Amino acid sequence: MENKLYWKGLLHDEGVVGVWENKYDFEKEENHISITVLRKLKYIDVTIVAEIKTNLVEILFNVLRFENLFLGYFYKTEALILDEDMALERIDAVLPFYQSAVKWLLMPNFTMDRDMNVEFSNWLALDRKLGIIHNMFLYAAYAKDLTNDVKLALILQTFEPISKDLVEQGKITITPHNHKNVKDSRIIFGDRVFAIMNCYGNDIFREDDIDVVLEKSVNLRDKIVHLDRSIKETLNGKQATYYLQKFIMLYITVILTELGIEYNQLRPEILKSLEKWKCNFPELYAMRIKLL
């Protein structure tokens, strides 16, 4: 028996994001599922049709998380109709970041005029694999009740399990980097973050002293995660806000390349977003840790 879901979202602000449509089709346990995502000015419509009755609300959240990888924001729910019945209570019970008004500058136009069906299918598998890791990222990035230094500490924490997976795939190599004790050959947390920055973040951190950014960011993470007030050499408040955007972009870059998108396709959008962030927040840009 076929079932159908319709969801309508509204931007939290007055921004206009254009008009375009994406379609995704996939098979789930011999069930063919078709998805249409229509973005039109301040609104987004998602229609999901399955040949056999299944959990369409769960699939909706898969779609919203996928769209968020590019958009850098979520929409406020205006309507949710499941098999012709209103079902807004199903939205009220989910994690709060799905209704967050927080926005980050990512690459909202990347999916325009592109067939993203393969990437969406890859996302379904990667989303299951990431599990709590991506939920931690979304909570850290979009929670409204966390300060930016705490958000940055949580974002950095996601790089530890991600780095282990990238090593297993042979995509990065982790070696001791800039240890104060040169004889210390242990792999520590900062080495894992550096390996990801060095492989995926050369454009993102190209204006920064990457060693100092790494040291102060990891110190901030250690101070917050381990509740260690004795740690002094950390990012200050404005620096934490500035580098939070960059580490969010770094995380997204890793995830999108894991979906099979070539970095050279992402690079123009990454550079465009970073330039816009710099222009929109010159006082934060002025506080960056400059490459001398």
- One digit per residue, the tens of pLDDT, for the chain of length 292 reads 789 999 999 988 766 556 889 999 998 888 999 999 998 888 999 999 999 888 898 999 999 999 999 999 999 888 888 886 666 656 655 667 788 889 998 888 888 778 899 999 999 999 999 999 999 999 999 988 899 999 999 999 999 999 999 999 999 999 887 766 555 678 899 999 999 999 999 999 999 999 999 999 999 999 999 999 899 899 999 999 999 999 999 999 999 999 999 999 999 999 999 999 999 999 999 999 988 7
Residue 162 placed within a domain: yes
pLDDT score for 139: 94
End-of-domain residue from the set 103, 134, 168 = 103
Q: Is residue 199 part of a domain?
A: yes
Instruction: Give residue 226's domain range.
Output: 146-285
In a domain, 151, yes or no: yes
Sign of the four-CA dihedral 133, 136, 137, 138:
positive
d(CA 226, CA 58) in angstroms, rounded, equals 35
**How many domains are contained in the chain?**
2
Work out the burial of residue 235: count CB atoms within 10 Å of its CB; fewer than 13 is exposed, 13-18 middle, 19 or more buried: buried
**Residue 292 resides in a domain:** no
- Phi and psi at 49, nearest 5°, equal -125, 130
Residue 271 lies in a domain: yes
Q: pTM (2 decimals)?
A: 0.93
Query: Are 94 and 221 contained in the same domain?
Result: no
C-alpha dihedral (260, 132, 63, 257), degrees to nearest 10 = -10
Q: Is residue 71 assigned to a domain? A: yes
Residue 255 and residue 179 in one domain: yes
Q: Which of 156, 137, 138, 51 is nearest to 99 (CA)?
A: 138
Q: Is residue 255 part of a domain?
A: yes
How high is the pLDDT of residue 150?
96
Q: Is there a single domain that holds both residue 153 and residue 77?
A: no
Q: Are residues 170 and 272 in the same domain?
A: yes
Looking at residue 87, its pLDDT comes to 62
> Do both 273 and 187 map to the same domain?
yes
Nearest CA among 207, 205, 282 for reference residue 246: 205
> Is the residue at 136 inside a domain?
no
Structure tokens at 159: 């790089």
Q: What is the pLDDT of residue 242?
A: 95
Note whether 85 and 156 are same-domain residues.
no
pLDDT at 46: 96
Residues 206 and 257 in one domain: yes
pLDDT of residue 99: 82
Q: At what angle do helices 237-258 and 148-168 cross, to 10 degrees?
A: 30
Q: What is the pLDDT of residue 166?
A: 97
**Of 70, 103, 136, which marks where a domain is finished?**
103
